A and B are shown apart, each in its own frame.
Chain A
Amino acid sequence: AQKVTQAQTEISVVEKEDVTLDCVYETRDTTYYLFWYKQPPSGELVFLIRRNSFDEQNEISGRYSWNFQKSTSSFNFTITASQVVDSAVYFCALSEAESNYQLIWGAGTKLIIKP
């Protein structure tokens, strides 16, 4: 069965530090999608990135970067030079063809950036 594990419940760093949020997934399917979402204190979930299982290229968007490694079933998210506005809960999610693309969510990692 598919599963998403975000082992880090909470991470606290000082502004300008780099931080990596871990996401490990389990699936038997060969066609699947991985996502990251951000939930700031206001509560509204914001889509960050989507990756399909056939595209292992890493992605960089400004201070954000994602490392997708099928060999370790991981899809980690790194924030470079963190800012206070990055403080939020970050969720990793997986959807697979076998489950009709129903999203399975990790428990989330609460990221606190201290000024």
Chain B
Amino acid sequence: KAGVTQTPRYLIKTRGQQVTLSCSPISGHRSVSWYQQTPGQGLQFLFEYFSETQRNKGNFPGRFSGRQFSNSRSEMNVSTLELGDSALYLCASSLSGGQYEQYFGPGTRLTVT
């Protein structure tokens, strides 16, 4: 079974730009969660999607948004990038949510200059 894939793996953007990250979950998994990981803040939950609906949302500004498609693939978008958005963005899939183990992708390393 293929694991969770994330594209792109690395990204360099300029302040003020927007970015879209993509995540393909493990086949059969309906829940996709996104996390931001930085050295200072650790792992922070962004949001979770299940069956194309946002089920949980973390404490991030509205510049961070996401969506999930009917095939469970998910995208997250960050608009008006700030320097502080530089981080490793991790996507995780699970059967149906946080009560199950999550399987993580390799992450997208975003650098904002």
Interface residues, chain A, CB within 8 Å of chain B?
33, 35, 37, 42-47, 50, 52, 91, 95, 97, 99-105, 107-108
| CB atoms of B106 and A43 under 8 A apart | yes
Nearest chain A residue, comparing its CB with the CB of B104: A45
A95 to B98, CA, bound (A): 6
How many whole Å from A68's CB to the nearest CB in chain B? 16
A35, A46, A97, A103: which contacts B33 (Cβ < 8 A)?
A: A103
Q: How many B residues, CB 8 Å from partner? A: 22
Q: How many A-B residue pairs have CB under 8 A?
A: 53
A101 to B98, CA, bound (A): 5
| CB atoms of A44 and B43 under 8 A apart | no
Near A by CB (< 8 A), chain B positions 41-69 give: 42-43, 45, 48, 55-56, 58
How many whole Å from A100's CB to the nearest CB in chain B? 5
- CB contacts (< 8 Å) of A104 on chain B: these are 45
- CB contacts (< 8 Å) of A50 on chain B: these are 100-101
26 residue pairs bridging A and B, Cβ less than 8 Å apart? A33-B99, A35-B101, A37-B104, A43-B88, A43-B107, A44-B104, A44-B106, A45-B104, A46-B104, A47-B103, A50-B100, A91-B43, A95-B98, A95-B99, A97-B99, A100-B55, A101-B97, A101-B99, A102-B98, A103-B45, A103-B98, A105-B42, A105-B43, A105-B45, A107-B42, A108-B42
| Listed residue (A37, A42, A99, A101) with the most chain B CB atoms within 10 angstroms of its CB | A101
Nearest chain B residue, comparing its CB with the CB of A101: B98
A100 to B42, CA, bound (A): 21
How many whole Å from B2's CB to the nearest CB in chain A? 14
